[in-house]
Structure 1
């Protein structure tokens, strides 16, 4: 800890110290937030998912991580994408807005990015999507919840502002990412890299936003395959797996989704390793979602399986999507070989 914080006094609030450590880790090491519904927040996962699942969609996401702490880590996200009809449905555009906030230390990180994807057919039943993402970000730390030693009177009450020098101005940065998705009507394989330019997030000293690599995929087994009609029914189960690495942190996930239209249920086991922590965190994310017409609503809860993750209180996550997908028109285009296979990944 820097010397100028040697007189720092933190109120004895349950969970404030862990929250401070969390915010410090996220700020200093620049770790990105992760979601328990990666396919509802798929534009965050890989820009190549832009325009791949729906004709167009708008998705709002809210994640409250570590709710038992005095300052939980809250993420709010808005995403939108549209597949362009001309020329040939090859192109798609997207917008992604993300804000992370830690209440205990006033840490906030805001990011807005534009996305582009190009879709092409490799074979009759095999297609490839490539995507790009360019983002502007701003990171800052507030000090409203900090109480320093020179503010404490002899009777224990808190005096006026501190004389401590808090010279941590906000940091602005630009980030670039790319990705690709190879898919058919039953399997997909996704590879994405974010922060390829590793922008600086240093306040007083240089620290970079580490390169994030994500590899994920799955295979959908149909029990009842949906047809071209609007009211068609799907019954399927989909095993999924993912590996993510950012800096020295690693995350391995494996799980399964079950869909019986209009309901989707899922369970994903997550093993998280962070350098310097006491062992790995083991988490089970339980996912439930429902789709009615052009509306999707999803909820997930992270159940801590290890002592550390259980003590921190897991995470609540809610997603709401408005989307459009014309099955009749899509079937017509597919018959004329003017469209690509429908991406089989879950929607939550």
Structure 2
């Protein structure tokens, strides 16, 4: 392996480790994991219950079996309140592991929301949702496999050299309380609940917990602000455009994902439960120096059949780390299942 590729690989691992501490997990198919997106999406569904699961594998071409691996699963439901309003309740779990240090983060939470109808007729129903979540995160790290700059001879790694770190003072497991809050608004655009527009904002890590592994150290977790907007716009009876955008602000880091998919309903029934979506998305990031750069070009696809929706996406790396990754990025697969009862009251809400 050439020295230049070694250097790029070292940079990739460095940025990977730093991003794990400074930022949360993220998914290219963020729309397929609503409980991670915003606690105010809890219970925003036209059926009685929704189960969602998503898996992401990133940078396997550079890090091999030490690549980022992230899994999340959630379940939510809603309850009628009076004639037009609802309560939402959900549980969510995600786990993330990456790097030579086997850095892992396991998070579990319970979320609740109140879904209030603002008015309008069937063709332009509007709702506002306030939601929150409380959970715990456990972070762990293995220090035996870590490599430090002091152990670099200039062209090779030499484990016999002192790392310059006192690893005996490290706490390899830490647990923190985490609190989230958010708002979500949407409006139906037709009487058949086929088109809608929505927007939301969420605030994560309101407790700003100390996540320092070093004993008596202090490293507060940055609060994160998430802004997301999108819609579902019917063009013809079987054709629709589905745009989505999410903006993440956390400490010195900013991330923006945006794009749109085209959906084709291939069922002959008026209310189709069979559809296929495909389209491009892009991700931009802002570094600690304030520079905005392209990070990934994404191709995403979804297929809905009855109560099940399957999703696939692939990130093509277009950042400065391309020499280390051979332009390979991340692979994601998602699954959403909705359970509808006979007496379900439809709200014309977005389909996550």
Query: What residue in structure 1 maps to residue 349 of structure 2?
Result: 343
Q: Do the aligned residues in 2 keep the contact of 1:281 with 1:308 (CA within 8 Å)?
A: no
Return the match for 2:254 from 250, 263, 276: 250
Structure 2 CA distance for partners of 1:92 and 1:106, relative to 1, 3 Å: same
Query: What residue in structure 1 maps to residue 298 of structure 2?
Result: 285
Return the match for 1:91 from 87, 104, 110: 87
For the residues of structure 2 that align with 1:194 and 1:147, how far apart are their CA atoms?
A: 32
* Correspondence 1:1-348 to 2 at 5 A: 15=9, 18-27=12-21, 29=22, 31-53=23-45, 54-70=47-63, 71-85=66-80, 90-124=86-120, 125-146=125-146, 165-169=167-171, 170-185=173-188, 186-204=196-214, 205-224=217-236, 234-261=238-265, 262-276=275-289, 280-308=293-321, 311-312=324-325, 313-326=328-341, 329-330=343-344, 333=345, 341-345=347-351, 347=352
In the TM superposition, what is the alpha-carbon distance from 1:13 to its structure 2 partner?
10
For the residues of structure 2 that align with 1:315 and 1:176, how far apart are their CA atoms?
A: 29
TM-score by length of 2: 0.79
TM-score by length of 1: 0.80
Q: Do the aligned residues in 1 keep the contact of 2:12 with 2:324 (CA within 8 Å)?
A: no
| SS of residue matched to 2:315 | strand
Query: What residue in structure 2 maps to residue 9 of structure 1?
Result: none
For the residues of structure 2 that align with 1:143 and 1:16, how far apart are their CA atoms?
A: 17
Q: Do the aligned residues in 2 keep the contact of 1:217 with 1:241 (CA within 8 Å)?
A: yes
The runs of at least 4 consecutive aligned structure 1 residues that moved more than 3 Å come to 12-17, 85-89, 146-150, 156-159, 162-166, 276-279, 309-312
Note the residue ranges of structure 2 that are not aligned, 5 or more in a row: 1-5, 152-156, 189-195, 266-274
For the residues of structure 1 that align with 2:147 and 2:199, how far apart are their CA atoms?
A: 49
For the residues of structure 2 that align with 1:295 and 1:178, how far apart are their CA atoms?
A: 29
- The two structures, once aligned, show a CA RMSD in angstroms of 2.8
Q: Do the aligned residues in 2 keep the contact of 1:303 with 1:310 (CA within 8 Å)?
A: no
For the residues of structure 2 that align with 1:316 and 1:25, how far apart are their CA atoms?
A: 18
| SS of residue matched to 2:31 | coil
In the TM superposition, what is the alpha-carbon distance from 1:103 to its structure 2 partner?
3.4
Q: Do the aligned residues in 2 keep the contact of 1:251 with 1:271 (CA within 8 Å)?
A: yes
Higher mean displacement: 46-55 or 31-40: 46-55
For the residues of structure 2 that align with 1:323 and 1:166, how far apart are their CA atoms?
A: 49
In the TM superposition, what is the alpha-carbon distance from 1:277 to its structure 2 partner?
8.5
In the TM superposition, what is the alpha-carbon distance from 1:286 to its structure 2 partner?
1.1
In the TM superposition, what is the alpha-carbon distance from 1:241 to its structure 2 partner?
2.5
Q: Do the aligned residues in 2 keep the contact of 1:288 with 1:299 (CA within 8 Å)?
A: yes
